[in-house]
A and B are shown apart, each in its own frame.
Chain A
Amino acid sequence: MSQLLTRGERAFRLLSGVTLALVLLLLYLPLLLMAVLSFQGEARTRFPPTELTLASFRKLFNPSNLDLFTIDGEPIINYFPALRLSLMLGLVTAIVGTSLALAAALGFRQKFMGRGVVFYAICLGMVIPGIVLGLGVRIFTDTVGIPAHWYTTGILVHVAWTLPFSFLVFLIFLNRFDRSIETAAAVLGAGPFTVFRTVTLPMLRPALLGSLLFGFTLSFDEMQRSALVLGTDQNLPRAILSAATIRITPVIYSIGTLIATVSLVLVTVYLVLFERERSRVAVTDAARAEEP
């Protein structure tokens, strides 16, 4: 069919290809422009950049060196406390969310009463609009007297947001999982914990990595839910947005460029590794299928 395209199909192929190209342009051109403008020396972020310097990166890394900030009215913001907080919150959220989600997904391999209700209860954390979840937790904890910090309400809300995603990742994996391998290990005398550690967990490695990555990214980028539950603690999205509300300077572009680059590299590495692992599993599956 692909060899014999009608004229209409050829036209549509061209049209849809152009659409994709435009979408990619709209997705990546801003990133490129932001990267270019982060090397601009002036406080104004005018296009095209008149001079390319490392000034904004120097300001980003030395916020306490006031001599660097020579432009009138330029906001001086130290992003590192917010960055540290976001990294910490992301890490804790990823680990807690992944552990709870893995346990829940393993439990879902059995039938039990209220399974459907539990499924929807877990997914509720994902489908409730972010601002609503934040508001609910904020009013509730305010009333019962729990102070809002990243390590109290912050973790509570962030895990509630990422846990359903991790849960779905594990469900997708476990539903395609051949349980006869576990049975084989068990028949050969391995206890339930040994089976889990030596058979189930290694096979779930891609899902485990995916869930950790998902949990970390969702928490690291979290803005809608964090607006009301972090109290005086500020995570990076809030710090960046509140700085941008005052004035957008090349320093904001430089931290944006750094973070975007690091996330893109990390995710690409993960996806390439994942694809390799998957094709390896697919090859062994194919080899097994060929055996009589």
Chain B
Amino acid sequence: MTEPALAHQPSSSVSSTPREISNVDVEAVLRRRARRSALLLVGPAVLWMSIAVVVPLAFLAWVSFWRLDGFTLVHAWDPETWDFVLRDATFRSLTLRTLEVVTIVLAAVVVVGTICGYFLARFVRSRTLQAALLLLSILPFWISYEIRIIMWRPLFGSDGLVNYLVSRVGVTSEPITLFLYNQHAMILAMASLYVVFVIGPMTWGFGRIDREVVMAARSLGASPWRCFWTIELPLAKGGLVAGVFFSAIFLFGDFATERMIGGAQSPMLAGTIEDNANLLQWPTAAALAIVLTVISLVFLGVLMKMHDLRQEL
């Protein structure tokens, strides 16, 4: 955008300024202008993110060393909270449970999302049908998350469809509680919430693979199974990493699913942070928040090491 202005100026100013503008000068000026306009354009967003994210995060780390006197925060340099959080068996099991649930849910959405994405990209021949099915698989993302949690009840609640069918068949007179207020229910609900993030990228990942490559491998004698593991899945890695990345972003901070469907029986980090914040236990909440942040950033970092998503931009 800055090039044209310069291209014009010399013609009008050449007569008034006898000094010759060399090519080197022009390039240097251009570079400087480009850099200045870039900084002006990027500046506001950086300022906003600094105030809203970087500063509060740094502050959080600091507060985790403060002390609570009654309900008022006292500026101090007191490692007591950290001592408590890192030594206490409850908090350790909290972290382990969080990791366990996140791992199981991500594994489930990866397997199911890969299978669905493969089906859409490879086996649905009609373009229109493919687009329609893909649209159906990703649309639920736009339904509010809390509505999707509440929707669980009409299907799996004690008054819901599943229990109605079970009671009609007459297996049991008591409502079955397999799908509500327990860990399996929570994991199934989370998987259904987040699988929509994986199906789309996987369909795109498999869809952009050149069919000739697969055909070449097949004609050289590779089995479909071998083709999938050695050619198709590695080539679709970008889609896989993108899907896991976005599921994980939502999953690490999710506490409402645990409350509403998991029955808050075995709490995880996100929910415990919120509990502590509501009880005004700021230093503990801050320390746990730092733990959760480190875990999720390390996880996302490892993911980016597997496949740098920036090259897909």
- A-side residues, CB < 8 A to B, are 1-2, 6, 8-9, 12-13, 15-17, 19-20, 23-24, 26-31, 33-34, 36-37, 44-48, 100-101, 103-104, 106-113, 118-119, 121-122, 124-133, 135-140, 143, 156-157, 159-160, 163, 167-168, 171-172, 175, 182-183, 186-187, 189-192, 195-196, 217, 220-221, 223-225, 227-228, 236-237, 240-241, 244-245, 248, 252-253, 256, 259-260, 263-264, 266-268, 271, 275
Contacts and interface: CB of A to CB of B under 8 A. Distances in A.
Interface residues of B, number: 103
A49 to B, nearest CB: 10
A264 B138 CA distance: 11
10 contacts: A28-B136, A30-B151, A107-B38, A119-B310, A129-B296, A136-B56, A191-B5, A192-B4, A224-B256, A259-B147
Contacts of B195: 23
Nearest to A258: B147
Contacts of A225: 253
Given A47-B160, A131-B270, A163-B45, A20 B137 contact: yes
B147 A260 contact: yes
B146 A237 contact: yes
B100 to A, nearest CB: 17
B51 A46 contact: no
B119 A1 contact: no
Contacts of A136: 53, 56-57, 59-60, 289
Chain A to chain B: the 4 pairs with minimum beta-carbon distance, closest first:
A107-B41, A186-B4, A136-B56, A129-B253
A252 B148 CA distance: 12
A interface SS class: helix
Contact of B51 (A34, A135, A156, A195): A156
B49 A124 contact: yes
A260 B144 contact: yes
Contacts of A143: 59, 73
A127 B300 contact: yes
Contact of B54 (A121, A244, A266): A121
A183 B4 CA distance: 8
A23 B48 contact: no
Interface in B245-293: 249-250, 252-256, 259-260, 270, 273-274, 277, 282, 285-286, 289, 292-293
Contacts of A168: 313
Contacts, number: 305
Interface in B84-114: 112
Contact of B313 (A126, A159, A171, A275): A171
Given A26-B192, A160-B53, A260-B144, A190 B116 contact: no
Contact of A110 (B37, B119, B143): B37
Nearest to A13: B123
B170 interface: no
B144 A23 contact: no
B297 to A, nearest CB: 7
B128 to A, nearest CB: 11
A125 B50 CA distance: 9
Given A31-B143, A110-B38, A24 B44 contact: no
B37 A227 contact: no
Contact of A224 (B131, B255, B286): B255
A101 B45 contact: yes
A118 B270 contact: no
A268 B135 contact: yes
B42 A252 contact: no
B2 A192 contact: yes
Contact of A128 (B51, B53, B139, B260): B53
A104 B256 contact: no
Interface in B124-142: 125, 131, 133, 135-137, 139-140, 142
A124 B249 CA distance: 11
